[in-house]
Each structure stands twice: as structure tokens, then as C-alpha cells.
Amino acid sequence: MKLQFVVGAIFILLVTACSNDTEQAISNVTTTIKDQADNIRDIDNPHVQSIKNGHLENYPTKSVGDAFNDFFGSPTWKHFKAETGEEVVEFTGHMKYQETNLKARLQFVVNENGTFEIGALSFNDVPQNELIKNGVLSAVFDSEHANSNESNTGANRVQNAPSRNESISNQDTKTTNSTQSSNDQQPNDLNGDYYYTDEDGNPLNELSFSINSKHITGTIIINTIDDKTAVIDFSGTLKNGKVKSTFEDDGWGESGTMQLKIDGNTAIATITANENENSTGWGINTGSYEFQKSEP
């Protein structure tokens, strides 16, 4: 009687396990079919084409589409609009990671200005952290892998993806679209003097700076009240069109931090003023100030 009970229990467990495996297999097949159908539907989608024709800043010689299609097996691309209103392009493809066959799913968020950011990555629908994502990108764009004869077989693998305790150096996932004109390029390496005026036409607001081998020094003048202006001097290393700096005195005793973002003909200064009990009220206020490139 006990033997019959044990055999029956084992049979139930086996049936349950087979059932779970079957359900998972059916789910995987269904998802793959849907991804392939979405890929066909969105093959000419402008957002998809924008990502596929774009380039990562650290890998300007090969487009995202070529690199991903070469590295991954069964690549698919689709577009959707997120609940947040963001335009998202989602890529799926098969690869090997630590000797395991995986289906990678990576999202690209399309910005209004034509650039895009790399979003979430998952393996078999399990979210991955930033270190793993950067490791995958490094492997995808490494020439040894991107030009491999194993392309589109799903056999390409991430061999150098960092562990959770390893750090990433010189890896930036900010991207630019290859269709941008040269006038929209960020002046990371453009030595020289630059002058910007207020976006809204206030003649008292102006921005000027000089770049020398990515080191930037400059001055921001902001109209605060009536005809009074605050002056902020800044300096730092320009990276991906951005520089952060602190200031100790704007001419009215105010101090704080400033981040300047330069995007072609537009520059935005985001200023955070420290609390000051002795403020005159004439100094700089916390806020963002937008400038347009002009001639001095």
C-alpha cells in the first residue's frame, strides 16, 4: 500500500513538472511569434529606423542595427509608446551568457531631439543591472564579436561582461542619432570660444565659455531683478556635452552649484542656490536658464 502511494506521488510530481515545462515552452513560442510579427509590422517604423541607423558615442563606426543584427541570433525590433508617453524601441535577440542560452530584451528610449538613451535590459524576462548591460554593449560592439562568422546563429556570447563587483570604465550608454547634422554635435572636442544669448531675448542674460582639450571655463550672467545681474564663473571637464561646477559668490553673496548642458546651438544652465539667511534678494535663484548660440 505504501509503495503504491509513493509511486502515485511521484507520478503526480512528474505530471506537474511536465505540465509546467509545457506551459513555459508554449509561452516562449507564443512570445517569439509575437516578436517576429511585431518585427515585420514595424520594419519601416521611423522610430525603429532611427535607432537602427543610430550610433553609440563610444562606437561611432558601426550602426546600432548592424552591430545588434550581427551579434544576436533571431533579432527583432518593434516600437511602442510607454504609459509615461515615451517613445520606446525594443530589441530582442538570442545570445549566450556564462554558457547559458538566453533571450535578451533591450529597450531604447527615443528623445524628442532625435537622440536616444539605452533603457532596461532583461535575460529571459529577468531584469539585469547596469553592469551587465554595459558588459553586453561592450561585447556587441567589440569588433571580434560584431564581425564573427557565427553571426545570427545565437552562438555569440558575452565573455567579458563584468561581475557585480567589477566596475566599468570608459563606457557611456548615452547615444546619438547618425542623422543629426554637424551643427547639432556636442562640442566635446571643439576647441575655441563660444557665446550664447538668452532664449527669450533678455539682453542681460548671456553665456560665454572657452574649450581647450575638453576643459571648459566660462561665465554666466543672469538678470535677477530690475537691471541687476548675478555673475557665475565656472570651470571643469566637459563630458558628453555636460559640465558641473560650484560657485562661491555670484556678486551678491549667493553660492551653489551649476550644471551646464550643451547640445549644439542650445545650452541649458541648471542652477541650485544654497540657502542664505543673509540674502539680499538680488542674487541668483534656483532654476534652469536656456541660451541660444549667437555671435559675440
The two beta strands, 87-97 and 157-158, are parallel
**Helix, coil or strand: residue 116:** strand
Rounded CA-CA distance 194/226 in Å is 27
What's the CATH architecture for 189-293? Beta Barrel (2.40)
CA 106 to chain centre: 12
Among residues 67, 65, 64, 92, the alpha carbon closest in space to that of 78 is found at 92
pLDDT tens, N- to C-terminus, the chain (296 residues): 544 544 454 454 444 444 555 665 566 677 778 888 888 898 899 999 999 999 888 788 889 999 999 999 999 999 999 888 889 999 999 988 767 888 999 999 998 887 888 889 999 988 888 888 888 888 888 754 444 434 344 445 554 333 323 322 233 344 444 333 333 444 445 678 889 998 888 889 999 999 887 789 999 999 988 889 999 999 988 888 889 999 999 999 999 999 999 988 899 999 999 988 888 888 998 999 999 998 86
Domain with CATH 2.40.128 in the chain: 189-293
**Helix, coil or strand: residue 246:** strand
Helix (H) or strand (E) holding 73: strand 73-81
Among residues 104, 292, 87, the alpha carbon closest in space to that of 199 is found at 292
Who's near 87: CB < 8 A, 6+ residues apart? 47, 79, 81, 109, 110
Who's near 39: CB < 8 A, 6+ residues apart? 76, 77, 78
